[in-house]
């Protein structure tokens, strides 16, 4: 158990995600504040694919494992 950081407001939620596009694994740190949470976007550090999470400010992303698809292209958002 880690003591709460008095400098941090709200709850820090940490989760790991595997990118659906390139297979990279990364950790996402998102701060939750009870009355100030909304959709924030963050990008896969390897291919740039955008994801969203409920958070009070822009989430931080830490790469854990490089992409596993063997490519170097960037994810292309397709707008319709």
Smallest separation (angstroms) from Zn ion to the CB of 51: 9
Q: Rounded distance, CA 20 to CA 10, Å?
A: 29
Q: Footprint of Zn ion on this chain (CB under 5 A)?
A: 19, 21-22, 24, 44, 46-47, 49
Which C-beta is closer to Zn ion: that of 13 or that of 75? 75
Smallest separation (angstroms) from Zn ion to the CB of 34: 31
- What HEC string does 1-17 produce? CCCCCCCCCCEEEEEEE
Which C-beta is closer to Zn ion: that of 27 or that of 32? 27
Q: Rounded distance, CA 44 to CA 22, Å?
A: 9
């Amino acid at each position: 158990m880690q003591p709460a950081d008095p400098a941090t407001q709200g709850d820090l939620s940490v989760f790991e995600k595997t990118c659906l596009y390139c297979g990279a694994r990364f950790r996402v740190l998102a701060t939750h504040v009870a009355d100030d949470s909304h959709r924030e976007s963050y990008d896969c550090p390897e291919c740039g694919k955008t994801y969203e999470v409920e958070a009070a400010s822009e989430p931080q992303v830490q790469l854990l494992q490089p992409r596993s698809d063997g490519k170097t292209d960037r994810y292309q958002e397709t707008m319709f």
